[in-house]
């Protein structure tokens, strides 16, 4: 009798109030049987993740029966989509699938790094309205971009009027959604700026809740001073500091990570927010110009060519380069590989020592320097430099404040010989450094790719698997996830990812890009202020 009554009550309720009888709304997607790594660093737990209207609707155990699409993740990991805080993807609107990133789990890019960004941040981020992307995009405002617009390539301090103009440009960018200020203090014209100039600009970005992200002034012999300068700027401007692609690129300082990481730890113990990011390779990638002294290339390539045309000056530059090589304890330029040389693509993939032997039949450093001069004069080259120690890479990765970032652009498949990190960085961390070498555990690696970067760049609803957060999710197999891109053959996608979801849209289904363009522009704290 009692049971019958209950059934009657239940029937009445189910008619009168269907919401109570069927509390689970219909989800757009449910990922079932997953091991959930939520991005905070907490150990994985088994459960389901439901998505509705681009957001994470439920996490854990719940009735998953009413979903439009079910993804079975048995034996697989589901994690927040990866946030790459150090990208150079001003070209993303030309390659809107951003396939090299998506296929290694990256769902959000922060571009505008190393001092170089779109000049008009509002226009850049707004482009997504007419040119949809498969990936989320966010940008810093670059110091070099601002400085060249106001001071040009001159090697001098800005006048007070020019400083005010630069400040205004940074303010405009922050109001239009930039997430902070970036510098590239080894590049032109950023290298001409004194610390005070950068502090002024950083103070503006700080007022809008921005982060100071820096390619510091020196990553070689003077790396300690350069780290101190970056911290000092953040301290004076009262803002978080992100030191980009943290490394030691002078052989004579290999093994000094206790010193470099110690500077970051000291600053943190004083209460300064300092974090770093790194790519998981002991080789860097930048221009051939970076091998020459700053003063020698000041004012651009025409000025540099003029200096090289003067025999005395040419000798002086060569002397300085040879001296620098010796101080860094490199015996020659065999660490310097050509990634892309327009004047002669046959050089691509070869190092300067090999090219010099080929062209000049010589193994001498002097001839290698002459070879560099010739290539500089003919337009320069994009290079890969094998200048770091693997032990340092591991020590940096093991730090809790280190994020994983690619320092890469969106790749055009098959074009040039770029650094492999653009295809493999995140997968390499998960495959090599987590699974094989066990430098960090899986949950910590995910944290470094998700919630840590989200916190640092003020993204309040990304980087974690949490109800209400944006549904940026990756599903992958921790046992097989791997990078395949090498320095010789970089155009190879990472494997092991079976689903990549951006704002609730499945953009990659394990075999191909679906064509879904659900990326969003992510604007900083100052937007609309
Ligand atoms: Zn850089």
Within a domain: residue 116? yes
- Contact call for residues 114 and 215 (beta carbons, < 8 A): yes
What average pLDDT does range 246-261 have in this prediction? 95
Residue 341 and residue 440 share a domain = no
Q: How far does the centroid of ligand 1 lie from the alpha carbon of residue 335, in Å?
A: 18
Q: Is the pLDDT assigned to residue 19 strictly greater than 60? A: no
pLDDT tens-digit readout, 405-428? 999 999 999 988 889 999 999 999
Q: How far does the centroid of ligand 1 lie from the alpha carbon of residue 298, in Å?
A: 18
Q: How far does the centroid of ligand 1 lie from the alpha carbon of residue 116, in Å?
A: 9
* Structure letter (DSSP) for residue 301: H
Distance in angstroms (rounded) separating the CA atoms of residues 355 and 347: 7
pLDDT above 70 covers a percentage of the chain that reads 95
Within a domain: residue 163? yes
Residue 358 and residue 302 share a domain = yes
Model confidence, pTM: 0.89
Residue 147 and residue 181 share a domain = yes
Q: Is the pLDDT assigned to residue 1 strictly greater than 70? A: no
Structure tokens that stand for 417 in this block: 């010989």
Q: How far does the centroid of ligand 1 lie from the alpha carbon of residue 213, in Å?
A: 10
Within a domain: residue 221? yes
CATH code at position 443 = 3.20.20.140
Which residues lie near ion ligand 1 (Cβ < 5 Å)? 114, 215
pLDDT tens-digit readout, 413-469? 998 888 999 999 999 999 999 999 999 999 999 999 999 999 999 999 999 999 999
Within a domain: residue 76? no
Residue 270 and residue 200 share a domain = yes
pLDDT tens-digit readout, 97-113? 999 999 999 999 999 99
Q: How far does the centroid of ligand 1 lie from the alpha carbon of residue 407, in Å?
A: 7
Structural domain of 210 = 82-283+388-459
pLDDT above 90 covers a percentage of the chain that reads 88
Within a domain: residue 56? no
3-state secondary structure of 130: coil
Give the residues across from 215 on adjacent strands: 184
Determine the pLDDT at residue 433.
98
Q: How far does the centroid of ligand 1 lie from the alpha carbon of residue 130, in Å?
A: 30
Q: How far does the centroid of ligand 1 lie from the alpha carbon of residue 184, in Å?
A: 6
Residue 427 and residue 307 share a domain = no
**Mean pLDDT value across the chain:** 94
Q: How far does the centroid of ligand 1 lie from the alpha carbon of residue 114, in Å?
A: 4
Determine the pLDDT at residue 439.
98
Place of tokens 């005395």: 312
Domains of the chain: total? 2
Distance in angstroms (rounded) separating the CA atoms of residues 426 and 84: 9
Residue 447 and residue 362 share a domain = no
Those residues with Cβ within 8 angstroms of residue 138's Cβ, 6 or more apart along the chain or in another chain: 108, 109, 110, 111, 125, 179, 457, 459, 521, 522, 523, 524
Residue 128 and residue 104 share a domain = yes
Q: How far does the centroid of ligand 1 lie from the alpha carbon of residue 182, in Å?
A: 10
Distance in angstroms (rounded) separating the CA atoms of residues 228 and 48: 45
Determine the pLDDT at residue 416.
80
Place of tokens 């002459």: 370
Q: Is the pLDDT assigned to residue 15 strictly greater than 70? A: no
Q: How far does the centroid of ligand 1 lie from the alpha carbon of residue 151, in Å?
A: 21
Residue 258 and residue 161 share a domain = yes
Residue 347 and residue 379 share a domain = yes
Determine the pLDDT at residue 3.
54
Q: How confident is the model at residue 11 (pLDDT cuts 50, 70, 90)?
A: very low
Q: How far does the centroid of ligand 1 lie from the alpha carbon of residue 506, in Å?
A: 31
């Amino acid at each position: 009798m009692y049971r019958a009554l209950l059934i009657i009550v239940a029937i009445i309720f189910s008619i009168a109030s269907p919401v109570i009888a069927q509390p689970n709304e219909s989800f757009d997607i449910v990922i079932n049987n997953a091991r959930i790594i939520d991005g905070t660093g907490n150990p994985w737990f088994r459960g389901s993740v439901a998505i509705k209207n681009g957001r994470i609707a439920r996490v854990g155990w719940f009735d998953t029966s009413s979903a439009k699409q079910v993804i079975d993740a048995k034996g697989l990991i589901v994690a927040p989509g990866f946030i790459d805080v150090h990208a150079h993807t001003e070209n993303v609107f030309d390659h809107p699938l951003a396939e090299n990133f998506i296929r290694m789990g990256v769902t959000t890019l922060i571009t505008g790094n190393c001092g170089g960004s779109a000049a008009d941040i509002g226009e850049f981020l707004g482009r997504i309205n007419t040119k949809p992307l498969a990936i989320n995009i966010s940008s810093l405002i670059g110091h070099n971009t601002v400085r060249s617009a106001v001071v040009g390539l001159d090697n001098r301090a800005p006048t007070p009027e020019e400083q005010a103009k630069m400040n205004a440009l940074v303010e405009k960018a922050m109001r239009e959604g930039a997430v902070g200020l970036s510098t590239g203090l080894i590049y032109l014209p950023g290298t001409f700026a004194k610390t005070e100039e950068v502090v002024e600009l950083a103070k503006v970005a700080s007022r809008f809740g921005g982060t100071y992200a820096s390619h510091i002034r020196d990553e070689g012999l003077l790396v300690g001073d350069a780290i101190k300068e970056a911290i000092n700027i953040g301290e004076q401007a009262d803002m978080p500091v992100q030191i980009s692609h943290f490394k030691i690129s002078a052989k004579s300082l290999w093994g000094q990570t206790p010193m470099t990481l110690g500077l970051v730890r000291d600053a943190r113990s004083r209460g300064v927010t300092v974090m770093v990011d790194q790519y998981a390779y002991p080789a860097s990638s930048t221009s051939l110009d970076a091998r020459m002294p700053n003063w020698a290339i000041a004012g651009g390539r025409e000025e540099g060519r003029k200096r090289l045309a003067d025999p005395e000056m040419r000798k002086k530059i060569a002397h300085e380069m040879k001296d620098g090589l010796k101080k860094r304890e490199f015996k020659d330029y065999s660490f310097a590989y050509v990634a892309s040389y327009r004047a002669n693509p046959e050089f691509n993939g070869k190092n300067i020592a090999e090219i010099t032997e080929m062209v000049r039949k010589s193994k001498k450093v002097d001839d290698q320097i002459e070879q560099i001069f010739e290539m500089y004069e003919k337009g320069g080259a994009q290079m890969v430099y094998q200048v770091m120690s693997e032990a340092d890479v591991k020590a940096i990765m093991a730090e809790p404040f280190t994020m994983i970032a690619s320092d890469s652009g969106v790749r055009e498949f098959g074009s040039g010989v770029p650094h492999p990190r653009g295809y493999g960085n995140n997968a390499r961390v998960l495959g090599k450094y987590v699974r094989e070498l066990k430098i960090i555990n899986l949950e910590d690696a995910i944290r470094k790719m998700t919630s840590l970067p989200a916190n640092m760049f003020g993204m309040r609803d990304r980087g974690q698997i949490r109800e209400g957060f944006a549904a940026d999710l990756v599903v992958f197999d921790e046992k097989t996830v791997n990078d395949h891109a090498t320095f010789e053959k970089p155009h190879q996608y990472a494997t092991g990812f079976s689903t990549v979801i951006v704002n609730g849209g499945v953009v990659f289904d394990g075999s191909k890009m679906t064509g879904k363009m659900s990326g969003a522009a992510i604007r900083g704290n100052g937007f609309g202020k």
